[in-house]
Amino acid sequence: MSTSPDGTVPVAVIGSGNIGTDLMIKVLRHSPTLRMAAMAGIDPDSEGLARAARLKVATTHEGVDGLAELPGFDEVKVVFDATSAKAHVHNAEVARRHGKLMIDLTPAALGPFVVPPVNLDAHRDADDVNMVTCGGQATVPVVAAVSRVVPVVYAEIVASLSSRSAGPGTRANIDEFTETTAEALRTVGGAQAGKAIIVLNPAEPPLVMRDTVYCVVEGELSERTRERTADSVAAMAQAVRAYVPGYRLKQRVQFDPVEDALVPGLGRRVSGTRVSVFLEVRGAGHYLPDYAGNLDIMTAAAVRTAEKTAALRGWVKPA
């Protein structure tokens, strides 16, 4: 069976923490094509599993193995992994063995990176796709938008998150965050070299997620090329905003000269133009408060990936 009797696609979530719980709420309340079938965790007393039970979602505290034993698991088409990189290895193997699409929100990155408005179509047949990082989901689209107008020699991003919205997983995987995001700036965004920085901001009251993107291109850009670049960034921001309503440009795209600068990762000096883009990501408040844009953009991107892949694979009619 491809879909439920009502035409929706059954999905399951592994992980009953903040990310998994927010995913569940998004599917239950806001997805027209997905149906929340089950949630799996490993802590029988977790708030996420308790909430799932109250919402009449099937639960297990025996992880992915318990999930595979639940009645109706055969009908599940998509499994979201909101656990850890270490746990994902086994989770992905079980999902693959049962023929499920795995959408990975951990740093494991066993499958290809997917950023929905940039490269989802290219990985429509992959059985395990990775959602990069919150910083990657916010900034890679901007780098890709610049790259489709003019080649980007170097991209650097700074993601500033409220320390309140950074859970134990984020704090324990800072190195993986920076490495994974930098790699996605290259492989998905199209930059020749990339660097990512994360800042956990302790300000009170908590600040919403802010992202700064710097793209260096060689040579001076004509006025027309600058206009095309700014238009490309604006169009990409609108594409992201279609599934993350709190995503927006803070100001106009900036263009500044770069003279004989040493580019990290390239080992050579470059003269040209720095394209600067400043972003804000305000969360939807589905689970954590709206300052947690970093949580919201990851879960929203994962849901968008599931919805669009379901349409691409013919499980549901395209919207």
Active site residues: 134
Contact, 301 vs 188, CB < 8 A? Answer: no
Contact, 92 vs 32, CB < 8 A? Answer: no
Per the structure block, which two tokens stand in for 274?
Answer: 């720095």
Distance separating alpha carbons of residues 132 and 140, to the nearest angstrom: 10
Distance separating alpha carbons of residues 285 and 186, to the nearest angstrom: 31
- Flag whether 169 is marked binding: yes
- Flag whether 294 is marked binding: yes
- Flag whether 190 is marked binding: no
- Flag whether 18 is marked binding: yes
φ and ψ at residue 26, rounded to 5 degrees: -60, -45
Q: Which amino acid is at 217?
A: V
- Flag whether 19 is marked binding: yes
- Flag whether 172 is marked binding: yes
- Flag whether 82 is marked binding: no
Segments of 43-175 assigned E as strands: 58-60, 78-81, 101-104, 128-130, 154-162
- Flag whether 165 is marked binding: yes
- Flag whether 91 is marked binding: no
- Flag whether 99 is marked binding: no
Pairing of strands 193-201, 154-162: parallel
Contact, 90 vs 96, CB < 8 A? Answer: no
Contact, 136 vs 195, CB < 8 A? Answer: no
- Flag whether 167 is marked binding: yes
Whose tokens are 């950023």? That residue is: 115
- Flag whether 126 is marked binding: no
Distance separating alpha carbons of residues 189 and 90, to the nearest angstrom: 29
Q: Would you list which residues are annotated within the binding site?
A: 16-19, 165-173, 294
Annotated binding site for NAD(+): 16-19, 165-173, 294
